[in-house]
């Protein structure tokens, strides 16, 4: 992949595909991590004298302009972080975009409206997607891919535009790929992976692939209850994917066959319901009452997981250990994060909810070797899949 230094950008219009898909409460950004992650590449282009045109998506407007998915609040925050006004185009590739881009001077930045307002961005039809990509490409002379969180999507701005313009990978994409290669090709051992989150089904491919590579696999979060149920235990009202039980039994057998230490919770916080103030008791993971719901790993499990991480040389963590948004059920996620911070290992936080949890819990981001911006993209890379947005950058 070519990098920024391989492009001559001074005085030229550069289209940057960023990942600015941040959570909003009305017009208030509640976590600006992805915006901050995009700043270094945009700043490098600004300082090199480029006319920078940023494009990104937000949410799932499904091909229609919807005010609640506008990127206007993102333009304001990006401007604050860059220390200069960011011009905002009221459409994606229409009259407003063209006039906004035409007014840019060297070193100035514009942000286009939400890419997903245009049906062509996500279209499965190659011709429809290509037609929209041509409109985007007409705005610029060069293309930089810096939205790692979107490179697993075969979307116009990710996959088709690079074929139409001289292109390079931005600093964020380069850094993410280097980290993921360390997790797949150049891994120091012991190699420990911690998986959490709600659903086993979201991580079937990555579990299957990691069982061939890791020394230990620690499973928490909602997905742990499907593993416990697969062993024949009562999980009460806890999150359970009954249709995945056979698949999970296969994972348990495969781990045993390969000598992988697959570690499940030994105790949980079993609550009376899914609520921030729900009463709960600490119970054994194999003794969850039928009328209770596990919302976090318990204190013994937190100690167990920390012990399993203590001698690791490489750690990948994706998915919270409980409902970290509720203070009472955030302790397990905090314990895993703090164990990674205390570790001497190369530690990677796999984006998505895990990265959000680090920020929400007020933990030092520099305590980790790398915090990914691409949850889904990271997982698909670790599955061994070819990511369309990376393939499009290969020359």
Stated pTM of the model: 0.88
- Annotated catalytic residues are 34, 199, 352, 376
Instruction: Write out pLDDT tens, residues 356-366.
Output: 899 889 998 89
292 assigned to a ligand binding site: no
351 assigned to a ligand binding site: yes
Token pair in block for residue 305: 């997981």
State mean pLDDT over 79-98. Answer: 98
125 assigned to a ligand binding site: no
User: How far apart (Å, rounded) are the C-alpha atoms in residues 380 and 372?
Assistant: 13
State mean pLDDT over 221-227. Answer: 96
Name the residue with tokens 């976590």. 31
370 assigned to a ligand binding site: no
User: How far apart (Å, rounded) are the C-alpha atoms in residues 199 and 212?
Assistant: 21
Looking at residue 353, its pLDDT comes to 84
Looking at residue 201, its pLDDT comes to 86
Instruction: Write out pLDDT tens, residues 166-210.
Output: 999 999 999 999 999 999 888 999 999 999 988 888 888 889 999
Looking at residue 383, its pLDDT comes to 87
Looking at residue 287, its pLDDT comes to 96
DSSP 158: I
CB–CB of 12/49 below 8 Å?
A: no
């Amino acid at each position: 992949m070519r990098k920024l230094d391989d492009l001559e950008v001074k005085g030229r219009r550069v289209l940057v595909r960023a990942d600015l898909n941040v959570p909003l409460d009305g017009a208030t950004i509640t976590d600006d991590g992805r915006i901050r992650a995009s700043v270094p590449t945009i700043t490098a282009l600004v300082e090199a004298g480029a006319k920078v045109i940023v494009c990104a998506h937000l949410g799932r407007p499904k091909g229609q302009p919807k005010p609640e998915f506008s990127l206007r609040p993102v333009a304001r925050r990006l401007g604050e972080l860059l220390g200069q006004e960011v011009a905002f185009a009221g459409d994606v590739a229409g009259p407003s975009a063209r006039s906004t881009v035409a007014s840019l001077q060297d070193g100035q930045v514009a942000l286009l409206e939400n890419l997903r307002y245009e049906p062509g961005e996500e279209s499965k039809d190659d011709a429809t997607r290509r037609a929209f990509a041509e409109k985007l490409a007409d705005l610029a002379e060069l293309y930089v891919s810096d939205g790692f969180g979107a490179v697993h999507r075969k979307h116009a701005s990710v996959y088709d535009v690079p074929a139409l313009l001289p292109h390079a990978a931005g600093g964020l994409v380069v850094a993410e790929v280097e980290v993921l290669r360390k997790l797949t090709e150049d891994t120091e051992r012991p190699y420990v992976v911690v998986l959490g989150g709600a659903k086993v089904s979201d991580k079937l491919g990555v579990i299957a692939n990691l069982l061939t590579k890791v020394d230990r696999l620690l499973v928490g979060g909602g997905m742990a209850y499907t593993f416990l149920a697969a062993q024949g235990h009562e999980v009460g009202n806890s999150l359970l994917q009954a249709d995945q039980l056979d698949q999970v039994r296969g994972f348990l057998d495969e781990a045993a066959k390969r000598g992988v230490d697959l570690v499940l919770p030994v105790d949980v916080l079993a609550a009376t319901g899914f609520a921030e103030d729900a009463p709960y008791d600490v119970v054994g993971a194999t003794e969850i009452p039928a009328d209770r719901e596990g919302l976090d790993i318990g204190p013994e499990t937190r100690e167990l997981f920390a012990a399993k991480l203590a001698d690791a040389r490489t750690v990948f963590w994706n998915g919270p250990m409980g409902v970290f948004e509720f203070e009472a059920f955030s302790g397990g996620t905090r314990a895993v994060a703090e164990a990674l911070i205390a570790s001497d290992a190369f530690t990677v936080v796999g984006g998505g909810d895990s990265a959000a949890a680090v920020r929400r819990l007020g933990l030092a981001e520099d305590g980790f070797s790398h915090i990914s911006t691409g949850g889904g993209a990271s997982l698909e890379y670790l599955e061994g899949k070819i990511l369309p947005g990376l393939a499009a950058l290969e020359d």
